[in-house]
Structure 1
Amino acid sequence: MTRVLLVDDHPMIGAALEMLLRGTDYELLGRARSVAEANREIGRLKPDLLLVDVNLPDGSGLDVLRRVTRARSRARPAVILLTAGMDEAQLLTAADLDPEGMVLKTSDPGLLTQCMDAVVAGNKWIDPEIADRTRRAQERADSAPPLTRRERELIELVRQGLRNRDIAAELGVTEGTVKVYLHAIFDKLEVENRTELALRAAQLISR
């Protein structure tokens, strides 16, 4: 029996999953409704498989995936991301973190069980539509202008969560200069804000 933990704050998803898994080789251990609750329940319940919504009230399911991916334990759970749709930054971050599976919430429920069966068998299963969106997002990212050393430094500091004032002190420039740099980077990389820049930071810096 494969032990499953659902990380999703929508009651209907929990009820639908319980019905879907009834009479199968999957045991639904429970449901976490936030990133914080997921982190607690993973340690307490030690599931074999996580079904994680990308959008959670206190953060992103990608944070849950990141934490699981970095875990040193060989017994860490496999992760399937559930999503109604991700922007390009989320798609590229998910690709970097390399979950075992990704499924669109709008897909036929049978695709979820197909994905789960594949993952439990040791394979990866990515919804073809998500794979295609990720490929196109990667192509656009690869064609973006190259970054200067200073731009890479600033992006790394943004990823660390530093405020403009702290970044200015770190780089030895004024806070106004940091704002100018940031807006230039937003325009260059076609990102909307610091959050999107931080999500894409690992992929951008590694180019």
Structure 2
Amino acid sequence: MTIRVLLADDQAMVRSGLRLLLSGEPDIEVVAEAEDGVTAVELARRLRPDVCLVDIRMPGLDGVEVTRALAGPAVTDPLRVVVVTTFDDDEYVYGALRGGAVGFVLKDAGPALLVEAVRAAHTGGTLVSPSITPRLLRRVRRGSSTRPLSERELEVVLAISRGRTNQEIAAALFISLSTVKGHVAGVQRKLGLRNRVEIAAWAWENDVVP
């Protein structure tokens, strides 16, 4: 199955480089490009790509605003957004993740990580650049409560940390999709976490993952 990708970056040379990189992969196709945030949102809503690669600093709407528009809590049918940027400022990272991004990759992290992030996003997983992960873990540890998780909630957390989608979790645990969503919401509430990226980070930090 081909992964359809939208590129959003205000620099033509960067978009060209990303297109060249991704088009070299047999399972990835770049279906659209946008040089500003407004165009990115319009194209994404019309074309419904599998993954949107979005830069942080763009005219019109920045990457965090684009992420909220396409993947935020208020979006009925959210798209999968991976932020790709040269800026690893904490406010950008947390703003993007709170906005619904399923990945945050620095442009200097290398082509292999970018391709891995696209594939992870497509399958419902998450990926954050290694240089950012320690800061994310510290934030998650400070913000987490000590309320215990049930055995079923721990199973869901483990599955999320392994990149499983809600549908895959439901099938593996023989429960309904709505039940999975309820468990995910319960985990977020108990641990004070905002999204699946932070759930996965909490799982690794607290040795939930064998």
TM-based fold match above 0.5:
yes
The answer for unaligned runs of 5 or more in structure 1 is 143-202
Aligned length: 140
Shift of 1:136: 4.7
The aligned counterpart of 2:197 is none
Runs in 1 of length 4+ with deviation above 6 angstroms? none
Structure 2 residue runs without a partner (length 5+)? 144-193, 195-210
Distance 1:55 1:134, change over 3 A: farther
Partner of 1:71: 75
| Residue 51 of structure 1: how far off its partner (Å) | 0.2
In the alignment, which residue of structure 2 is the partner of 1:13?
14
Q: How does 1:120-159 map to 2 (within 5 A)?
A: 120-136=122-138
1:108-140 per-residue CA deviation (whole Å, 9 max, x = no partner) reads 111100111222222111112122233456678
Evaluate the alpha carbon distance shift between residue 18 and residue 93 of structure 1 in structure 2; reply closer, same or farther with a 3 A threshold: closer
- Residue 91 of structure 1: how far off its partner (Å): 2.4
TM superposition score normalised by structure 2: 0.60
Letter in 1 for 2:11: H
Residue 97 of structure 1 is matched in structure 2 by 99
Q: CA–CA distance in 1 between the matches of 2:124 and 2:139?
A: 27
The one-letter code of the counterpart of 1:72 is T
CA–CA separation in structure 1 for the residues paired with 2:21 and 2:5: 12
SS of the equivalent of 1:31 reads strand
Shifted more, 131-140 versus 47-56: the winner is: 131-140
TM-score after normalising by structure 1: 0.61
SS of residue matched to 2:83:
strand
How many Å separate the matches in 1 of 2:68 and 2:23? 30
| Displacement of 1:43 | 2.0
Q: Which amino acid aligns with 2:133?
A: A
Aligned to 2:84: 82
Deviations 1:144-203 (A, max 9, x none): xxxxxxxxxxxxxxxxxxxxxxxxxxxxxxxxxxxxxxxxxxxxxxxxxxxxxxxxxxx9
SS at match of 1:56: coil
Report the aligned-residue RMSD. Answer: 2.1
Q: Matched residues in 2 for 1:137 and 1:107: separation? A: 22
